[in-house]
Structure 1
Amino acid sequence: MKRREAREYILQILFQIDFHPREEFEEKINLYLQCNDNLDEEMKEFIISYAEGVASHVDEIDDILNKKAKGWKTTRMSNADLTILRIAVYEISFMKDVPVSISINEAVELAKKYSDDSSPSFINALLGDIVNTDN
């Protein structure tokens, strides 16, 4: 399985978990993975680690998004867009083995598939602002 497919699983997990208390995080991940028994153990471990990484940095990630999103706050963003942005900002800020251009492109592709028509350009612009400010 490629990282693109893994990102889709991570998006689905984090999207669902956002509607539940943080205390239920591990339980919800395990339940989700049980329902997707086509994944091998290595991929399950990767997905769990990745999702836990995003979740453990969610406050920092949301601070970055709130500072850079002109006229927007995370509380106003659609859940799909917010989850996609969290994954991308996690990759950009905390996973140095993923090239920034790949993170942005993958986020845009997820938005094309899981969000509305205006989301890909919004996500691309916001991530571009975050990256350009960090450099």
Structure 2
Amino acid sequence: MSGSQKKLGARHKARKRAVDFLFEAEARDLDPVDLATERAELAGTDDAVAPVSPYTVTLVTGVAENLDRLDRVIADHLQDWTLERLPAVDRAILRIAVWELFHATDVPPVVAVDEAVELAKELSTDDSPGFINGVLGQVVLVAPQVRAAAAATSQRAEAAQEPGTDA
């Protein structure tokens, strides 16, 4: 399978659709989760609406639920830029990639970064792929600690819920 065929896999399409939903929701001041859910339901009844992948809904929901934290992390790695100055599509791509780096344990970090760069090539300006790669190259360095902290927190929460523990 060639590289270009691989890039058009189901997860790539799901990420691209998630970027579309996040972009549209921001432009129209809508809740992105509601937008994705409504489109998924509509796709079930209207053949003219493309099906919505469960992974698209996972991405949109993950970004929406963690938006403030994701934006803080992105903003901390922008150097001379602000989040508001970025093109909206770049914000959506970065939010998805950072969410994957922190939460999608089945997605290797290099894949999350490569996919974000590929989406930027397809959807954004000529400068965006390099810019996004640079930002994510810095975020990747803190991702393992964030994942480890999240795993420890969820393990403590699970232990606290087990009967017979004093947590």
Q: Is the 8 A contact 2:100 2:107 kept in 1?
A: yes
Query: TM-score if structure 2 supplies the norm length?
Result: 0.71
Provide the rounded CA distance (Å) in 2 between the counterparts of 1:37 and 1:19.
Answer: 20
Is the Cα–Cα contact under 8 Å of residues 32 and 60 in structure 2 kept in the other structure? no
Query: Structure with the greater relative contact order (CA < 8 A, sep ≥ 6): 1 or 2?
Result: 1
Pick aligned residue for 1:78 from 84, 87, 92: 87
The reply on whether 1:39 has 2:48 as its aligned counterpart is no
1:11 matched residue in structure 2: 19
What is the SS of the residue equivalent to 2:105?
A: coil
- Give me the whole-angstrom Cα distance separating, in 1, the residues matched to 2:143 and 2:56: 27
Note if contact 2:101-2:143 (Cα within 8 Å) is conserved in structure 1. Answer: no
Corresponding position of 1:120: 129
Equivalences for 1:18-37 in 2 at 5 Å? 18-21=26-29, 24-33=31-40, 34=42, 37=49
1:51-101 Cα distance to aligned partner (Å, 9 max, x none): 111111111000001111111111111101110000000000111111000
Code of the residue aligned with 1:39 in structure 2: it is P
SS state at 2:83 partner: coil
Question: 2:67 aligned with 1:55, yes or no?
Answer: no
CA positional deviation for 1:48? 1.7
Is the deviation greater in 45-54 or in 112-121? 45-54
Q: Percent identity?
A: 31
Does the C-alpha gap of structure 1 residues 107 and 25 become closer, same or farther in structure 2, counting only changes over 3 Å? Answer: closer
> SS at 1:19's partner residue?
helix
Residue 113 of structure 2 is aligned to residue 101 of structure 1: no
* Structure 2, unpaired ranges of 5+: 1-8, 145-167
One-letter amino acid matched to 1:29:
A
Deviation at 1:31, TM superposition (A): 4.0
- Specify the structure having the higher radius of gyration (Cα): 2
- Give the Cα separation in 1 of the matches to 2:85 and 2:13: 27
Offset at residue 20 of structure 1 (A): 3.7
